[in-house]
Amino acid sequence: MKLRSHKPDRLLLGWVFALTITTAAPSFGQTPAPTATQSLSATAALNGTPTPAPVALATPAELSPAVRAVGIHNSNGEQRDHHEVYVQRGDEIWVDVHNFRSWLDSLGHDRLPKNHEIKDLILYLDHFPLPGVSPSYWYEQKYWTPTAVDSPSQQYTVTTVGFSLVRNDSSKPGWSHLLNQPVLQRKVLVSVGFANGEEMDTAITPEAKESGARDQQLFLTIIPHYRTAFGFLVILTALAAFLVLARRTHIIRDNAAPRRPDGLRPYSLARGQMAFWFFLVIASYFFLWIVTGDMDTLNTSVLGLIGISAGTALGSAFIDVSRPMVSSGNEPTVDVTKPHLEVLAELKDLQARTQNQLATLQKARAAISESDKPRLEGNEREQNEMRERLANYRWQSVYFAWPTWKGVMYDLLAENNVISFHRFQIFVWTLILGIMFIANVYNELAMPQFSATLLGLLGISAGTYVGFKLPESKPQ
């Protein structure tokens, strides 16, 4: 391809003319040098490669081998001249590599891998190699530096290399470093290199640089906004529906337990534990799919946790079915839907009035003749009713004297109105393992692998809880 050159013949022109003359005819017989927009033909490595777009001229300081530009390749072509480039897993990006062959020469024989062509390159993000993320296309263009009076223009090569940001078996270790402790977006360093660890210098760094045409930063979107918002909206809707059902129905209540002072059945620790692990696992599974794209993230530890919680609830249900339905105290005589402080005040007022009625009956008994047995028996019966009401009011007053949140905690930790250590033990173990579960999913992007010893310890706690329900299931 024949190219023109705008380079003046400095041998024929003097210093004065060099400052004033802006164009000159090319020297006869001299090999012409191209300008910024007149480059050699690009050589595409794959069929159907898009037509290369012109890039800005490099300065002499930029002639050293390095990655100097990055962008996205999509149906509209290659997007260039963006100072901030936003990509995510699954996108196709390109990088401009300046003077690739010169970089190979600088490695020397010892550091140069056996396979060292452009097709053997891999992508580096934050200095982590991504094996398996290989070029999907590439092409080269040749450019010349601007003409200067004191130095001739120099030719340099820009190799545009395209990569698909895929997460496969080979690239998973590198992606794990990039995606763990995920945030919405993360600025990353971009480069290329070989699988043996040789990485090219890069100008695409997370640090902000001075303004200019080549000031670029790459933002890796780790948590996609719309998919994440939609998925967690579904999970939160399910959780909200579950909380409403838990409050208004017996979905996690102990149907065979004595009624509480407010007339409702207490919450079941075993069923609550099963619901806890269900929502924790399903939310973690969706989160890992959003960040990593993996659908096979469940492991034996997760199955063990779900199995232990399900077995605990099943064993508790068998024991509950085998015991008779019992109740404690009378049905509440106040509106228990009011705030618990108002309920408590009303109960104390009823307790005071009942106490006065009992005192009145006791005084009336003194005026009844010993021979009038029917009146004596009636008075005694009324006094017993008053005493039973007083006992019921005191029992309900003690319950409603607790803050509201302690009402649920009391259900989970108490059996027959007695807080027991074996319930406290399984509650604490479940809470601690849940915290460890969340931390591992966030930091390692994987479901935790609990040891058989730890799962066995949780199973012993669950077995102890079920075992203690046998004597506690007998009505007092």
Q: Is 50 exposed, middle or buried (0-12, 13-18, 19+ CB in 10 A)?
A: middle
Tokens at 308, concatenated: 């232990």
**Quick one: 132 and 206 in the same domain?**
yes
* pLDDT range class, residue 180, cuts 50, 70, 90: confident
Dist. CA 266–CA 261, nearest whole Å: 10
Dist. CA 113–CA 432, nearest whole Å: 49
**What is the predicted pLDDT for the residue at 436?**
93
Lowest mean pLDDT among 133-147, 245-259, 285-299, 329-343: 329-343
Give the residue carrying structure tokens 């062959």. Answer: 101
**Quick one: 428 and 443 in the same domain?**
yes
Dist. CA 146–CA 452, nearest whole Å: 69
Single pTM value for the model: 0.68
**Residues whose CB falls within 8 Å of the CB of residue 475, separated by 6 or more in sequence, listed in order:** 258, 323, 324, 326
Q: Would 2 be classed as within a structural domain?
A: yes
Tokens at 283, concatenated: 């939310």
Q: Would 334 be classed as within a structural domain?
A: no
Q: Would 248 be classed as within a structural domain?
A: yes
Decide if pLDDT at 415 tops 60.
yes
**Quick one: 381 and 321 in the same domain?**
no
**What is the predicted pLDDT for the residue at 173?**
86
The answer to whether 357 touches 342, Cβ cutoff 8 Å, is no
Q: DSSP secondary structure string, 418-448?
A: EE-HHHHHHHHHHHHHHHHHHHHHHHHSS--
**What is the predicted pLDDT for the residue at 47?**
39
**Torsion over CA of 306, 309, 310 and 314, rounded to 10 degrees?**
170
Q: Would 408 be classed as within a structural domain?
A: no
Domain carrying residue 242? 228-328+416-472
**Quick one: 200 and 235 in the same domain?**
no
* pLDDT range class, residue 33, cuts 50, 70, 90: very low
Q: Of 196, 222, 248, which marks where a domain is finished?
A: 222
* pLDDT range class, residue 276, cuts 50, 70, 90: very high
281-331 pLDDT, tens digit per residue, is 999 999 999 988 888 889 998 999 898 888 888 887 777 666 655 444 455
**Quick one: 76 and 212 in the same domain?**
yes
Decide if pLDDT at 470 tops 80.
no
Dist. CA 171–CA 425, nearest whole Å: 42
**Quick one: 74 and 51 in the same domain?**
yes
Domain count, the chain: 4
